[in-house]
Amino acid sequence: MRTRQLSVVLVSVLLVASGVGVGAVGASLSGGDPVDTAGADAAASVAGDAPAQAGSNIGGSPDLDVFAPNPNLVPGRTNEVTLQIANDGNFRFGNAANSELVTTARDVRVDVEASGPLSVESGETSIGSVTTNAPGELPVSLNVPQDVEPGTYTLDLDLTYGYISAGESRTVTVSRDVDVRVRDDARFRVVGVETDAQVADSGMLTVELENTGSEPATEADVQLTSAAGVLTFGGTGSSTARIAELAPGETATVTYDVEVAPNSAVRSYVVTGRVAFKDPDGIRRTDETISLGVRPQGEQQFSIGNVSADLRVGEDGDVYGTVTNDGPATARNVVVQYAEESPSLIPVEESVAVGTLEPGASADFRLPLAVSGEAEAVARTADVAVQYRNAEMERRSYQDLELLFDIAPERDRFDVAVADRTIQAGGERTISVEVTNNLDEEVSDVEARLFADDPVATGDTDTGYAQSIAPGESVTMTFDLSATGSATPGSTYPISFDFRYDDADGNSQLSDTVRVPIDVTESEGGGLPLPALAVVLLVVVAGAAVFYRRRE
């Protein structure tokens, strides 16, 4: 380089002595076109070649080095490390005001390789020009295994760039290295996940964490965040639980309240986490490598089978069935609730309890209902619900159930059979009545009453009583009945009975009226009818009284 400078000086001196411009010679020596100094064209040519002339009179080169401002790596994840490419520059000669012409590294390309267990995801990267005043930045993606040993690891870099010196363009590749560090901090990994949360319900999420690092962690705040909107932490997207202290190799359990939206799919939902903790020096650090899957249980379901009924129009009865817990969880304090709203079908008891049901277990139930007299004797459906308590003893309800049963036509609750349904005109008699319980339950405190209309009348005994009558059982009651003389022989007249009784539940009931025909026959023995006989007797008594008074 010195030989070239001396040559340029000698040539310049000779040219000055001969009257030739130094600038033209310098341009020619540095690779430019020869320049004619005569005329305007020559002046313009000299002005256009000024940068080249300046470059030819300046010497130097870039001087690149690599630094890692934050060399710390976290195991078990891909770390983004930003490296700085600094340029100290090496200016050798020329006008220092134009030093950037020769010290700038142009079109810098960097290829990074990692040592040991680390690997580089990013390939060769271009970062543009690097000057002495503005360092370049190089983002590097490093894969760090979870089980990597703490310590220092080296990244090897090849930097390829171009620069200009003494009017010549040059391209070089230099090798540099920089250290990165895997700290001895506490590290965390998930070793167990359990939840009893079900679709359309809430539950507990239990997560077991292990400190896989080589240092203890204190005041570790474990924050979990759900990536799915159907899985929430008490209605919010995230929740935090604290571990007071966790030594290396130890595990700890944290719990969270979670909810799962109705109609959600039964699958694993992604939950991410971060642990903010203090190291032994009291410095707050963060591990953001936590990730887990949460799979809720299916929605609690029930089914009802073996449905039957003994319902009749105008009577109380029961619907029978079997409720089954189809799972997946145990249902506590299960109650079958009648949920239909109908004016003709009224629940005597709105719900019945069947106890606790394990998954797959069944229990029989009976729902007492009252059927009004206006009800139709048809097949009916009725909605029912199953109420229960979950593992947290919170009340839940399952609605999607229906009963299908028949309502039988109305019937007389009691059959009445009169052994002899005849009575003489103007006569009276005691009739024997056989009363049969047509109901499906035993009745008690049964009081029967006889009613009759003219020309048939009741006598002194118009009521009968039975302490109890079992289903299908018959009892005999007696009543007094008479027929006036105006009753027409050969005609039939109705008498009627009604019954007041207590049902099996102790409720007082009144039956519908039961009508029985009574046939009137001729008076036997040719005697006077009772009314006529009474008149005769009155006349005789009156005559006797007159006769007696006259004798006195």
With a cut of 70, say whether residue 48 has pLDDT above it. Answer: no
For the segment 346-404, what is each residue's pLDDT rounded down to a tens digit? 999 999 999 999 999 999 999 999 999 889 999 999 999 999 999 889 999 998 899 99
pLDDT for the residue numbered 395: 93
Please count the other Cβ atoms lying within 10 Å of the Cβ belonging to residue 421: 13
Least confident of 7-11, 189-193, 219-223, 441-445: 7-11
Is-contact 430 470, C-beta < 8 A? no
Is residue 327, in this structure, part of any structural domain at all? no
Q: Closest Cα partner for 452 from 496, 500, 409, 487? A: 496
The residue range of the domain holding 391 is: 332-408
Is residue 104, in this structure, part of any structural domain at all? yes
Asked if 82 and 115 sit in the same domain, the reply is: yes
Is-contact 403 319, C-beta < 8 A? yes
Least confident of 14-18, 419-423, 492-496, 519-523: 14-18
Asked if 173 and 196 sit in the same domain, the reply is: no
Q: Choose one of 390, 408, 426: the last residue of a domain.
A: 408
- Confidence bin at 177 (pLDDT 50/70/90): very high
Q: Does 499 or 51 have the greater pLDDT score?
A: 499
Is residue 514, in this structure, part of any structural domain at all? yes
Q: Choose one of 351, 382, 408: the last residue of a domain.
A: 408
The number of folded domains in the chain is 5
Cα–Cα distance for residue pair 91/106, rounded to 1 Å: 16
pLDDT for the residue numbered 77: 80
Cα–Cα distance for residue pair 335/350, rounded to 1 Å: 10
Is residue 321, in this structure, part of any structural domain at all? no
Asked if 393 and 463 sit in the same domain, the reply is: no
Under DSSP, is residue 307 helix (H, G, I), strand (E, B) or coil? Answer: strand
Mean predicted confidence (pLDDT) in 164-187: 91
Question: Any idea what the Cα angle at residue 300 is, between residues 366 and 236, rounded to 5°?
Answer: 135
Under DSSP, is residue 37 helix (H, G, I), strand (E, B) or coil? Answer: coil
Is residue 542, in this structure, part of any structural domain at all? no
Least confident of 10-19, 102-111, 251-260, 434-443: 10-19
Asked if 159 and 213 sit in the same domain, the reply is: no
Q: Closest Cα partner for 287 from 364, 388, 186? A: 186
Asked if 165 and 152 sit in the same domain, the reply is: yes
Asked if 38 and 76 sit in the same domain, the reply is: no
Is residue 307, in this structure, part of any structural domain at all? no
Mean predicted confidence (pLDDT) in 224-230: 94
Q: Choose one of 408, 441, 476: the last residue of a domain.
A: 408
For the segment 90-109, what is each residue's pLDDT rounded down to a tens digit? 999 988 888 888 999 999 99
Asked if 336 and 400 sit in the same domain, the reply is: yes
Cα–Cα distance for residue pair 182/176, rounded to 1 Å: 20
Under DSSP, is residue 546 helix (H, G, I), strand (E, B) or coil? Answer: helix
Please count the other Cβ atoms lying within 10 Å of the Cβ belonging to residue 385: 16
Is residue 300, in this structure, part of any structural domain at all? no
Asked if 221 and 286 sit in the same domain, the reply is: yes
- Confidence bin at 4 (pLDDT 50/70/90): very low
Is-contact 64 105, C-beta < 8 A? yes
Q: What is the largest CA-CA distance in the chain?
A: 209
Compute the residue count for the chain. Answer: 552
Cα–Cα distance for residue pair 47/28, rounded to 1 Å: 14
Is residue 320, in this structure, part of any structural domain at all? no
Asked if 421 and 441 sit in the same domain, the reply is: yes
Q: Closest Cα partner for 515 from 528, 541, 497? A: 497
Asked if 94 and 172 sit in the same domain, the reply is: yes
Phi-psi region of 348 (alpha: psi -120 to 50; beta: other; left: phi over 0): alpha
Mean predicted confidence (pLDDT) in 193-204: 94
For the sheet with 119-120, list strands across it.
64-67, 77-87, 136-144, 119-120
With a cut of 50, say whether residue 13 has pLDDT above it. Answer: no
Indicate which CATH number applies to the domain containing 94: 2.60.40.10
CA end-to-end distance (rounded Å), the chain:
193
Instruction: Report if pTM > 0.85.
Output: no
**Amino acid present at 386:** V
Q: Closest Cα partner for 516 from 425, 414, 416, 410? A: 416
Asked if 430 and 509 sit in the same domain, the reply is: yes
Asked if 178 and 65 sit in the same domain, the reply is: yes
